[in-house]
Chain A
Amino acid sequence: MSSVAVIDYGMGNLHSIAKALQHADSRVDVQVTADASVIRAADRVVFPGVGAMRDCMQALNDTGLSAVIRESAQSKPFLGICLGMQALLTDSEENDGIACLNLFPGHVRRFTDHLHDAGGNILKIPHMGWNQVKQVEHPLWQHIPDQSRFYFVHSYYAVPDDARHSVATADYPQAFTCALAKDNVFAVQFHPEKSQTVGLQLLQNFLNWDGNV
Chain B
Amino acid sequence: MSLAKRIIPCLDVDNGRVVKGVKFVDIRDAGDPVEIARRYDREGADEITFLDITATHDNRDTIVHVVEQVASEVFIPLTVGGGVRVLEDIRRMLNAGADKVGINSAAVFNPEFVKQAAEKFGSQCIVVAIDAKKVSQAGEAERWEIFTHGGRKPTGINAVEWAVKMKDYGAGEILLTSMDRDGTKSGFDLALTRAISEAVSIPVIASGGVGNLDHLADGIIHGKADAVLAASIFHFAEYSIEQAKRHLQSRGIEVRL
CA distance A196 to B51 in the complex (A): 22
Q: How far is the CB of B46 from chain A (nearest CB, A)?
A: 6
For residue A152, which residue of chain B has the nearest CB?
B3
Do residues A199 and B75 form an inter-chain contact, with CB atoms below 8 A?
Answer: yes
Do residues B203 and A124 form an inter-chain contact, with CB atoms below 8 A?
Answer: yes
B111: chain A residues at CB < 8 Å are none
Q: Does A16 contact B (CB under 8 A)?
A: yes
Q: Does B99 contact A (CB under 8 A)?
A: yes
Q: Does B173 contact A (CB under 8 A)?
A: yes
Q: Does B89 contact A (CB under 8 A)?
A: no
B94: chain A residues at CB < 8 Å are 12-13
Q: How far is the CB of A176 from chain B (nearest CB, A)?
A: 12
Q: Does A97 contact B (CB under 8 A)?
A: no
Q: Does B239 contact A (CB under 8 A)?
A: no
Q: How far is the CB of A201 from chain B (nearest CB, A)?
A: 11
Q: Does A145 contact B (CB under 8 A)?
A: no
Interface centre among B71, B73, B198, by most chain A C-beta atoms within 10 angstroms, is B71
A193 with B75: in contact, given A121-B224, A124-B202, A126-B202 (CB under 8 Å)? yes
Partner of A131, one of B3, B41, B76, B121: B3
A117: chain B residues at CB < 8 Å are 2
| 23 A–B contacts, CB within 8 A, in A order | A12-B94, A12-B121, A15-B96, A23-B75, A50-B124, A50-B125, A113-B201, A122-B198, A122-B201, A123-B3, A124-B201, A126-B124, A126-B172, A128-B172, A129-B3, A129-B203, A130-B256, A131-B3, A132-B1, A132-B2, A147-B1, A149-B256, A195-B75
CA distance A132 to B198 in the complex (A): 25
Q: How far is the CB of A90 from chain B (nearest CB, A)?
A: 22
**Tally of contacts, chain A with chain B, CB under 8 A:** 105
For residue B227, which residue of chain A has the nearest CB?
A129
Q: Does B72 contact A (CB under 8 A)?
A: yes
Do residues A130 and B46 form an inter-chain contact, with CB atoms below 8 A?
Answer: yes
Do residues A127 and B71 form an inter-chain contact, with CB atoms below 8 A?
Answer: no
A15-B96, A23-B75 known, 4 other contacts, Cβ within 8 Å: A12-B121, A124-B203, A128-B203, A153-B77
CA distance A195 to B96 in the complex (A): 18
B73: chain A residues at CB < 8 Å are 19, 23
CA distance A132 to B4 in the complex (A): 9
Residues of B within 8 A of A (CB): 1-6, 41, 46, 68, 71-73, 75-77, 94-99, 121-125, 172-173, 198, 201-204, 224, 226-227, 256
Do residues A16 and B2 form an inter-chain contact, with CB atoms below 8 A?
Answer: no
Q: Tell me which residues from 154 to 213 in chain A have a Cβ below 8 Å from any Cβ of chain B.
A: 154, 171-173, 191, 193-196, 199-200
| Chain A positions 1 through 32: 1 when the CB is less than 8 Å from some CB of chain B, otherwise 0 | 00000000000110110011001000000000
For residue B73, which residue of chain A has the nearest CB?
A23
Q: How far is the CB of A124 from chain B (nearest CB, A)?
A: 5
A194 with B202: in contact, given A121-B224, A200-B75 (CB under 8 Å)? no
B204: chain A residues at CB < 8 Å are 124
CA distance A51 to B5 in the complex (A): 24
A194: chain B residues at CB < 8 Å are 75-77, 99
Q: Does A104 contact B (CB under 8 A)?
A: no
Q: Does A151 contact B (CB under 8 A)?
A: yes
B77: chain A residues at CB < 8 Å are 151, 153, 191, 194
Do residues B122 and A51 form an inter-chain contact, with CB atoms below 8 A?
Answer: yes
Q: How far is the CB of B112 from chain A (nearest CB, A)?
A: 18
Partner of B4, one of A16, A129, A173: A129
